[in-house]
Amino acid sequence: MTSDERDRRCAREDGTFSLPDLKWDGCANVYICPSGKVLRTTGKVHDGMMLRLRASKHDCSACPAKAQCCPNMPARQIPRDLHGHARDIARRKITTKAFLKSRDERKRVEMRFAH
């Protein structure tokens, strides 16, 4: 899946900001909203597999883009899988020639096992 396909899949139909509109900072493990505010996590694991990153209610209430970002909530929150960093690496590798070659070779082997 290319980043364009992922962006379309994650796009929201109600006109509010979607995940591709936010920037992920992997070094600090935070999202940055289009207004430059930071969404942080407490580190608590929810449902055994995800972290919830939240913006400050104070930041969101004073933001001019609140209507586009989180119109039905006091502050923006985003779930992120515990293994999100591994998924990001895999998404980057999907576009390489080495991945395409490996995928083709893997299909040949897997088809032999399937038959």
How does pLDDT run across 31-67, given as a tens digit for each residue?
998 888 889 888 888 888 888 888 888 888 888 888 8
Distance CA 53, CA 42 (A): 8
Mean of the per-residue pLDDT values of the chain: 83
Q: Mean of the pLDDT values across residues 11-38? A: 82
Tell me what pLDDT residue 97 has. Answer: 94
Distance CA 50, CA 105 (A): 33
Distance CA 69, CA 12 (A): 11
Distance CA 11, CA 52 (A): 19
- In the chain, what are the domain boundaries? 3-82, 83-115
pLDDT of 69 over the 90 cut: no
Q: DSSP class of residue 34? A: T
Closest CA to 72 of 8, 17, 7: 17
